[in-house]
Amino acid sequence: MKFLTAAAIATLAFVQPALARDVTVDVTAIVEHPALDAVRDGVKDALGEAGFKVGENLTFNYESAQGNPGTAAQIARQFIGNGPDVIVPISTPSAQAVVSATRDIPIVFSAVTDPVGAQLVKQLQKPGGNVTGLSDLSPVADHVALIKEIIPSVKTIGVLFNPGETNSVTLVELLKKYGAEQGIAVVESPATRSSEVQNAARALSGRVDAIYVPTDNTIVSALESAVAVAVESKLPLFTADTESVSRGAVAALGFNYYDVGKQTGAIVVRILNGEKAGDIDINVAAGTDLVINPAAAEKIGLTLPKSIIDRATKVIK
């Protein structure tokens, strides 16, 4: 899997003016939370900058599955029945629902950790067929290094995740791998729905030195309940989702998901302007931001190192 270079980002950001014709882009996400909402908004804005504007020549439909895979499948069938020019599923579960439902309509997925592991495509370069998109594979090795820098004595990390999300299973395996390289054990605490997140977090109390939340839609949608337990247990909670830091996480190293949406939208524009989805390589989204929340750290008696504060992209006040 390759990362976008600065030149490639510039190429994606520069698109030819859109053709003066009416198009329809249907967008769906497995659930509504700040990161996925930011992807949606970035897609819409990228289309607008390219000349496809809502109310003029663009019909932009959006549906959330509200965390229900069955609803995601219904939305996929509804969209396909509408016959849009492009479908943009955001998150792995929504992408799986759409990809399994059509081989004809172009699909540009976004915020998918492992497109091959999720069986969306067989390969990342020129994937063929009607599917392409953008991966948000987290820099998990860097996450482990970040946690160790903030808590040098860390020996165990508890991970909250939904084992039903293919993306999360991939990330947990990577966490185990990179944790082991640093002498850190990983304790799994699964939650299959948002209502289970609080109890899953409580199950980690007294067993771990820190809590880690990957880009898991189930956990992120109920993050406040995990944060409450972390504060009560005096445990630092780290996430892969930078949008979650303002919601109480101590720190996150990850993508600006609005930028992920704009990069995804640039791919959609290429298809609207005549390229075939299957001819467009699948890349990992560009950019990582370090976002910290000193107040959240202070609540649990943790002081963030100056080295972390100095290089933070954003500090939540």
Q: What is the pTM of this model?
A: 0.83
DSSP 156-195: EEEEEE-TT-HHHHHHHHHHHHHHHHTT-EEEEEE-SSGG
Domain boundaries, the chain: 6-136+255-284, 140-254+289-315
Residue 55, judged by CB atoms within 10 A of its CB (0-12, 13-18, 19+), counts as: exposed
- Superfamily in which the 140-254+289-315 domain is placed by CATH: Response regulator (3.40.50.2300)
- Matching fold, domains 6-136+255-284 and 140-254+289-315: yes
The owner of tokens 């560009």 is 286
pLDDT tens sequence for the chain (317 residues): 444 443 444 444 444 444 457 999 999 999 999 999 999 999 999 999 999 999 999 999 999 999 999 999 999 999 999 999 999 999 999 999 999 999 999 999 999 999 999 999 999 999 999 999 999 999 999 999 999 999 999 999 999 999 999 999 999 999 999 999 999 999 999 999 999 999 999 999 999 999 999 999 999 999 999 999 999 999 999 999 999 999 999 999 999 999 999 999 999 999 999 999 999 999 999 888 999 999 999 999 999 999 999 999 999 98
Domain 6-136+255-284 sits in CATH at: 3.40.50.2300
d(CA 42, CA 26): 14
In terms of Cα–Cα distance, which of 59, 126, 68 is closest to 97?
Answer: 68
d(CA 50, CA 59): 14
